[in-house]
Amino acid sequence: MISTKMADRINLQINREMFSAYLYMAMSARMTEMGYTGIGKWLMIQYHEEMFHAMKFAKYLQDQGASVKLDKLDTPDFPEKTVKELFQHVLKHEQWVTASIREMVELARTEKDYATENLLNWYIDEQVEEEKNATEILQAIDLIGNNAQGLFMLNVELGKRDNHAPLDFTKA
Ligand code: FEO
């Protein structure tokens, strides 16, 4: 059993993970509309990753006998129009998610909630990966500069990403 405070914080994180999915879906739509279909695909796979993150927290709450409480999602708001600006936003967003997960670890430690801390270790590792992916794409964009052919190749490369996030709630 986990505390009400921790269950509330996990429910808040479910909202943040689902907002992340919503944001990446919106970004995917914009990139696809601009002709970057590969980048659009990469972002939609990111959408599935985020939904998996939300489902994993939801399943944990249920395993602990706590209720899943879904709140409304904010509207994704991003003014960025270029590929570089968009991935800068992705990196900044992931850094915000990392800070949110770290805050949860602090709460778990305060409460001596070892089970939740153990679950959160998976998310800590996942955030290293998430920030690394965004950073590597930004590095590639910097190398490409204003070369249109390079940007086209990056679009093709990112379009090769496959979905590895389980879509089945029970596999979370
Ligand atoms: Fe669920 Fe991209 O952090």
What is the pTM (predicted TM-score) of this model? Answer: 0.95
Of 64, 59, 53, nearest to 23 (Cα)? 53
Which atom belonging to ligand 1 lies closest to the Cα atom of 127?
3
| Cβ-based neighbour number of residue 128 at 10 Å | 11
pLDDT digits (tens, 9 = 90+) for 122-139: 999 999 999 999 999 999
Please give all residues whose beta carbon lies within 6 A of any atom in ligand 1, as ranges. 17, 20, 50, 53, 94, 97, 130
Protein residue with least CA distance to atom 1, ligand 1: 50
pLDDT digits (tens, 9 = 90+) for 3-43: 999 999 999 999 999 999 999 999 999 999 999 999 999 99
Going along the chain from its start, the domains and CATH numbers come out as 4-68+81-163 (1.20.1260.10)
Output the average pLDDT for the chain: 95
Q: Are 78 and 26 in contact (CB under 8 A)?
A: yes
Of 68, 115, 76, 72, nearest to 93 (Cα)? 76
